[in-house]
Structure 1
Amino acid sequence: MRDRSGAVRGAADGRGERARGHAVPPRPAPADAVTDTTESVVTELNVALGTDYRLVRQLPGGFQSSAYELSDVGPRVVLKWCDDPGWAPRVHRAAELVRRARAAGYPTPAWLAVGTTAAGSPYQLQTYVEGRSLADASSIGPSLARELIRISETQRDLVPDQDSNWSVWSAGVVFDGWDGVWDRVLGYGGEATDLLERYGALCRPYRDHALPVDDLVHGDLNVGNVIVDNGRVAGIIDIEAAGGGSRAYDLVSLATSATRDGAPAGVDELFLEAALRAGGRTVVAICAAAAYATIAEFVRDRSTYSQELVLDGARRLLELLDA
């Protein structure tokens, strides 16, 4: 059995700090702390880089940290920043993973600069990707789904270490109670709990199985993070949560996102079949269970509509797995 005792502690502040994966907003700074604004981050960035960027607009989307278009006399760029100083090590590590991913052909935007403000807020400046987000998955046909599946193959064997590892984190959440999220969702009652219990039963035979750890994992992949231009994938964004693990994690995430976000019938099956080929049933079950627990907690205080979409995705995946 693989030792899981702390392999994700470099994720941010500990077991529960961002290997949280799907969507956990940054913690607010203490009341007496100096806090950043987007304008102040742009000012510090300009001083650090000797540039003259100005804020153009906030880009749509982004549950965890917003993205902003900046411009100067050169090409358009995107600023992302977060007011959680504890997230800074993860952002700096992600910069190296972005470099590796792009070298392997993974279509994520280039990071032009990474830094930390005087108040401790991490930021990155990246190239602007032309196109539109697939927030509405109804336009994802089999051809686009297969393109995303081919892209996932570029993630193979890119992260030969266990820092910030999604496989380790997934097993820790499901079997060892990391972050307490599993027990919290069990306490919700209703279908949210019923589905988690079904995921628990699905995973129980795999407790002592070691999961693959060497692939690049985006960690927060959903159809809204895919930019499409002229019917082709132009970019995959919001990669700050990247780490090691099995690429099956991202394919499982795409499968549930396809269901939640309205992809045509059969697209979720294509993603799940690819996940099973990439990692096998053990990996898919454990990654899906951990991801569901996390997103179920994330939408707990959001709209009933959002909660129903998450339940739909989780229910559908269990159906496809005959579980």
Structure 2
Amino acid sequence: MLRTRRCGHEPMNQGTPPEELPTEVLDDVASAVRAEVTRVSRLPGGINGGAVRVQVAGRTDAVLKAAPRAHPHHLDETLRAQRVVEHMRGRGYPTPAWLAVGATATHVWQLMDFVDAAPASELTPSLVEQLMEIIELQAGQASEPYDHWSYAWRVATGQEPAAAGRDPDEAPEQSRLRRSIAGLSGYSPAVSALVERLRLVSADVPPPRDAPDMVHADLATPGNVLVVDGTVVAVVDIGNAGSGTRAIDLATLVWYCFKDPLLDDVRGRLWTRILDLVGGEGAAVLTAAHTLHMLEFPIRDGRDDVVPQVVERGHRALDELDSLR
């Protein structure tokens, strides 16, 4: 659930800026693809560095991203994302192909197709409608046991993994975020009141029983949507993809659709689809989980000016959902 914005590629956590990219990473990529790899330029955008446009000898340009090894399973998580990409591309999902994945002693890297398109500067009704159609391609396509649905329930309810009745495959980043979210109430009385309200709407909801769909987990961030003349040509930032309910991605779109009154109508259609998929209780859990994440990010980063906006939007989302349930 990390929020990053890039051009023509999927970002990774804690990317290494190209000027700091170790030579051994480029050498490892070249060895993997059996061709010379030449750095072209750093790609713009994003809050994490590390996306570099490269030329692979004898092929078109590609995008290389490298991140310092964050934990022992970092490469396994990247390989999981690669499998999700291959699975979904085989079903018409518009995400760039991953050409290679690998690791050195210090970094994990991925090489993918370069998409010559611009990231969307903002969501529009047309883009949201297109994304809703793309999300439907995720139906029944869960292929990896990386369950965002159960994780959202744990975040919303404050429950530990064992409370779900099984031992889920929770990634280190998910565990860290969940622990950080558990301490949000101490930030301010306004945040505490919102957290209490979010916990209350989720308190009696049982854990989800299945995770049938593929979940992108950051499809709604405009910079992760690449467009040409207003048409979506690719969605990126798929490194955190897994399984769950596609309503997770719809709920994320709802959050971003509060930014512009022109999106009010399409936001209503999003709510309707979410309620059709997971019902009122499920919608409450997904709204609570996403709001808690949106609180955690600025509080963690010390962006105190953003927190009141998140609090206001969180209450607005709950009010709107209450009127529809």
Question: Alpha carbons of 1:252 and 1:54: their partners in 2 closer, same or farther (altered >3 Å)?
Answer: same
Q: Distance in 2 between matches of 1:23 and 1:148?
A: 17
Q: CA deviation at 1:308?
A: 4.4
**Equivalent position SS for 2:183:** helix
Match of 2:307 in 1: 307
Aligned residues: 290
Q: Distance in 1 between matches of 2:26 and 2:15?
A: 20
Q: 2:77 aligns with which of 70, 83, 90?
A: 90
Residue equivalent to 1:131: 117
- 147-156 or 280-289: which moved more? 280-289
Query: Cα RMSD (Å) of the superposition?
Result: 2.7
Return 147-156 or 47-56, whichever deviates more. Answer: 47-56
Letter in 2 for 1:76: D
Determine which of 123, 128, 133 is the counterpart of 1:145. 128
What is the Cα deviation at residue 26 of structure 1?
4.7
1:252 counterpart residue number? 251
What secondary structure, in the 3-state scheme, does the structure 1 residue paired with 2:211 have?
coil
More displaced 10-residue stretch of structure 1: 182-191 or 148-157: 182-191
Asked if residue 169 in structure 1 is aligned to residue 154 in structure 2, the reply is no
How much has 1:151 moved relative to structure 2?
Answer: 0.7
CA contact (8 A) 1:215 1:244 kept: yes
Higher alpha-carbon deviation: 217-226 or 247-256: 217-226
Task: Tell whether the 8 Å contact from 2:64 to 2:111 is kept in structure 1 after alignment.
Answer: yes
Change (3 A) 1:238 1:181: same
Aligned amino acid, residue 26 of structure 2 = V
CA–CA distance in structure 2, aligned partners of residues 290 and 159 of structure 1: 20
Asked whether the 8 Å contact 2:14–2:49 carries over to 1, the reply is no
Q: Do residues 50 (structure 1) and 34 (structure 2) align?
A: yes
Q: Contact between 1:94 and 1:241, CA under 8 Å: does it hold in 2?
A: yes
Q: 1:225 aligns to what? A: 224
CA displacement 1:264-313 (0-9 Å, x = unmatched): 33143333333223332222221222222223112112434443453354
* 2:102 counterpart of 1:122: no
Q: Which letter maps to 2:139?
A: R
Instruction: Give the Cα–Cα distance (whole angstroms) in 2 for the partners of residues 27 and 130 of structure 1.
Output: 24
By how many angstroms is 1:160 displaced? 5.0
**Which amino acid counterpart does residue 134 of structure 1 have in structure 2?**
A
8 Å Cα contact 2:214/2:245 also seen in 1: yes
The verdict on how the C-alpha distance between 1:193 and 1:283 changes in structure 2, with shifts beyond 3 A counting, is same
Query: Which residue number corresponds to residue 101 of structure 1?
Result: 88
Q: Do the aligned partners of 1:167 and 1:246 also contact (CA within 8 Å) in 2? A: yes
Post-superposition Cα deviations, 1:161-209, rounded to whole Å, max 9, x if no partner, equal 5x22101111222231563233211221243332222211211231x24
Corresponding residue for residue 296 of structure 2: 297
5+ residue gaps, structure 1, are 1-20, 30-35
The one-letter amino acid of 1:102's match is R
Q: Structure 1 residues 66 and 195, CA, compared in 2 at 3 Å: closer, same or farther?
A: farther
Deviation at 1:27, TM superposition (A): 7.1
The Cα offsets for residues 229-278 of structure 1, whole Å up to 9 and x where unpaired, read as 12111111011001111111111112112335x47331433333332233
Task: Give the AA of the match of 2:214.
Answer: L
Given residue 310 of structure 2, which amino acid in structure 1 is its aligned partner? V
Alignment TM-score, normalising by the size of structure 2: 0.79
Residue ranges of structure 2 left out of the alignment (5+ in a row): 5-11, 161-174
Structure 2 residue matching 1:197: 3-state secondary structure: helix
Contact 1:219 1:249 in 2 (8 A): yes
Q: 1:303 to 1:289 in 2, by over 3 A?
A: same
Whole-angstrom CA distance in 1 between matches of 2:81 and 2:15: 22
The answer to whether the Cα contact below 8 Å between 2:67 and 2:109 also exists between their aligned partners in 1 is: yes
Identical-pair percentage: 27
TM (norm. structure 1) is 0.80
Do the aligned partners of residues 290 and 77 (structure 1) sit closer, same or farther apart at CA in structure 2, a change above 3 Å counting? same
In the other structure, the counterpart of 2:168 is none
Q: Using a 3 Å threshold, how does the CA distance of structure 1 residues 133 and 193 change in structure 2: closer, same or farther?
A: farther
Partner of 1:216: 214
Secondary structure at 1:205 match in 2 = coil
SS at match of 1:164: coil
Tell me, yes or no, if the aligned pair for 1:275 and 1:284 is still in contact at 8 Å: yes
Answer whether contact 2:51 2:66 (CA < 8 A) is retained. Answer: yes
8 Å CA contact 2:84–2:143 kept in 1: the answer is: no
Give the whole-Å Cα distance in 2 for the aligned partners of 1:187 and 1:235.
40
